[in-house]
Structure 1
């Protein structure tokens, strides 16, 4: 045991507590025939919780964690603290990038040895913990070698380095029983068209993802391959801008049945969408896999990765997840970090506990809306004409025949209210 969380007990569900406890998140509560924990499938993000030093674009590190440093001893201490936090929260899952959990070596071979050693250590920790691995991924954006991208880099040696890194991380994810593998293009884009070959870079990215899928099948990995849309940050343009853009990319390279989406709330907002829009679109395309739950500061206008605190927003997000049938291998990863002034160990626990409660409250509202059925009934009523013989026949007809029928039948269609305000008021009854 470490002494980092000394004095902080394991959190319990106690809606009447006046101290730190879960007031809405009851893992055992049954909703739609499933335990709340199994609906939400919470995961702790290793990078923000244990690797982020508290810097921002205008100031350096504010956190001084006892495990900060580039040694294997400190990497193991970091893992010890991480699993203590998982146990305090009762977190069923966690997620990592390779760079979060191992020190950088002087060569690829040394970094690989460090990584494999710490993976063995994590496997030992998992033997004595309830916490599983939701997904692993590779950090191919922080190191200076990735300043021009990884798969889309103009230097083929960096493409090769990136491919070797992903192979290593996929092997580790499988070894730890991870249920998904995620790719997100932190720097897969451009800062100026003056030095960019869009066609070439897109082809490189497509071939890279095909290699990932091929390797998944080669090693018998049963989890999902997930791509995370990431717009405008840090690059001016990125190839994985939003769900629609990624789906077009998947179709172009024949991967639409092989790859799903890991959708982040903050990224949806940066792309000019709502979170529920991106979730609903992914579900309609059959590629909704998992989510990163966080929020942005709407005054700042950039990806601040804050813990969620808005129940109505969260409820609408889980409504779309539930409409899609719920998570299969995916879950709710808190890709969220403390504010740089929140220095104490208690802040780290409180941030996650509050977010888990907000998600639980939002989930219960979403379940209630589904069980009530009014929203779905209103939606079905609005499109009922398309289920009639007339509606079905239109889609099997042609323009000339339709034009003749319109004139001969003398139809005079009139607009009908979409009842947006009525529906918004209905949602407010539940949140």
Structure 2
């Protein structure tokens, strides 16, 4: 195996005063924050699809980056991708990777041949894992790009397509278990609709639940002990996708009795497409006990589609890591860079610049989030704002000691309540966050 990224050595931590573009300014893997090293807290992962296959193709133009890895034969290219990916992860000190089945090995003439070729490449990856200690964070099946999935996979009107998707997912779960992954992700892809005029929504949702239940049962039967994830996304490629946002997915999981096995894989850009903040989606997942893993990226607020940019917004990263720390940190999940370098950033070196930017951003976010918690001003303000629920009528409501009759009596005796309202002090709290961020 030759070196793919000649002239780029191991990326080290040089501190914020470094002017070296190929060095970390804030990510120090061994620095302890919140009782764990940064490496343990952040659990960075490489996304096989964007990093190893994304060549800059978009709806308006062909690719600009060469992601053939020097090979024209599909099987040889799949193997070269593995060598290049492990070189990237080694040089960036990234401990995990995530994959779609077809990212690792493409489709061939039949499902049997495709599965056999996937086995070959996962054998090769497993040997690389044994050499390096690099792990699989999660796997998934690419049930959305092939023409057979034009009307969906688990929600297709065709039972034959449902059966094919089930077979593909079965194999992807096997590959995830083989590579030691502790997560398996369902992303809706084309599980949604363009118009209700041709859609039996009830049957489609029932069938999606059937597919997920089969996946859980099969995964557990072959020894998968990790988390199953759903990754919410409201639209694109379909106009309306069934996994619209975290709250929608929670309702789906609870309706079909799948809530014991599934957690959320929250993506920042998907949150904004749903007209939510990244922090909102994480908070809904955390408050409901469904926090799992994160796809780390950002979108452009001036564009209405999933741009999957490498994250550089430190405010968002800080508020994200605040939710992660409040949730107790990652268990099986981590920060997967579901991000792609811009179409005009097409050189091999740009892969490293992109990851350095994203990793430094979340390292800064982690530092700030821990400082917000240690500082305590924001937490104390929130606790004080809701203090009326700790005693008196508030505690009686929470304890179930009063009903409408008692509350009416209390309100009549109390009279007007505007004098007991406190200011929300939003501007003060945002100023406190700025103070915490820029006094570091």
Pairwise same-fold verdict (TM > 0.5): yes
Question: C-alpha displacement at 1:357, in angstroms?
Answer: 0.5
1:285 matched to 2:288: yes
* Paired residues for 1:36-55 under 5 Å: 36-55=38-57
Residue 70 of structure 1 contacts residue 103 of structure 1 at CA under 8 Å; is this kept in 2? Answer: no
C-alpha distance in structure 2 between counterparts of 1:399 and 1:365, whole Å: 44
Equivalence for 1:17: 18
Q: Which of 399, 405, 410 is residue 400 of structure 1 equivalent to?
A: 405
CA RMSD of aligned residues (A): 1.3
C-alpha distance in structure 1 between counterparts of 2:240 and 2:109, whole Å: 32
Question: C-alpha displacement at 1:206, in angstroms?
Answer: 1.1
State the secondary structure of the residue aligned to 1:55: coil
The structure-2 alpha-carbon separation of the partners of 1:341 and 1:413, relative to structure 1 and needing over 3 Å to count, comes to: closer
Equivalence for 1:348: 351
State the secondary structure of the residue aligned to 2:132: coil
* Paired residues for 1:77-92 under 5 Å: 77-92=80-95
State the secondary structure of the residue aligned to 1:6: coil
Residue 13 of structure 2 contacts residue 25 of structure 2 at CA under 8 Å; is this kept in 1? Answer: yes
Count of matched residue positions in the alignment of Structure 1 and Structure 2: 431
Equivalence for 2:390: 387
Q: Which of 326, 330, 336 is residue 333 of structure 2 equivalent to?
A: 330
C-alpha distance in structure 1 between counterparts of 2:409 and 2:167, whole Å: 62
Provide TM-score, normalisation by structure 1: 0.98
Residue 54 of structure 2 contacts residue 67 of structure 2 at CA under 8 Å; is this kept in 1? Answer: no
Question: C-alpha displacement at 1:406, in angstroms?
Answer: 2.1
State the secondary structure of the residue aligned to 1:429: helix
1:30 matched to 2:32: yes
Question: C-alpha displacement at 1:301, in angstroms?
Answer: 2.0
C-alpha distance in structure 2 between counterparts of 1:283 and 1:251, whole Å: 16
Structure 2 spans left out of the alignment, 5+ residues: none
C-alpha distance in structure 2 between counterparts of 1:298 and 1:341, whole Å: 19
Residue 369 of structure 1 contacts residue 430 of structure 1 at CA under 8 Å; is this kept in 2? Answer: yes
The structure-2 alpha-carbon separation of the partners of 1:268 and 1:69, relative to structure 1 and needing over 3 Å to count, comes to: farther
C-alpha distance in structure 2 between counterparts of 1:142 and 1:128, whole Å: 33
Question: C-alpha displacement at 1:428, in angstroms?
Answer: 0.8
Question: C-alpha displacement at 1:51, in angstroms?
Answer: 1.1
C-alpha distance in structure 1 between counterparts of 2:124 and 2:198, whole Å: 44
Provide TM-score, normalisation by structure 2: 0.96
Q: Which of 401, 418, 423 is residue 429 of structure 2 equivalent to?
A: 423
Structure 1 spans left out of the alignment, 5+ residues: none
Residue 230 of structure 2 contacts residue 263 of structure 2 at CA under 8 Å; is this kept in 1? Answer: yes
* Paired residues for 1:80-159 under 5 Å: 80-159=83-162
State the secondary structure of the residue aligned to 2:169: helix
C-alpha distance in structure 1 between counterparts of 2:153 and 2:25, whole Å: 43
Deviates more, 1:120-129 or 1:242-251: 120-129
C-alpha distance in structure 2 between counterparts of 1:70 and 1:195, whole Å: 41
Residue 53 of structure 2 contacts residue 67 of structure 2 at CA under 8 Å; is this kept in 1? Answer: no
C-alpha distance in structure 1 between counterparts of 2:417 and 2:128, whole Å: 70
Runs of 4+ in 1 over 4 A off after TM superposition: none
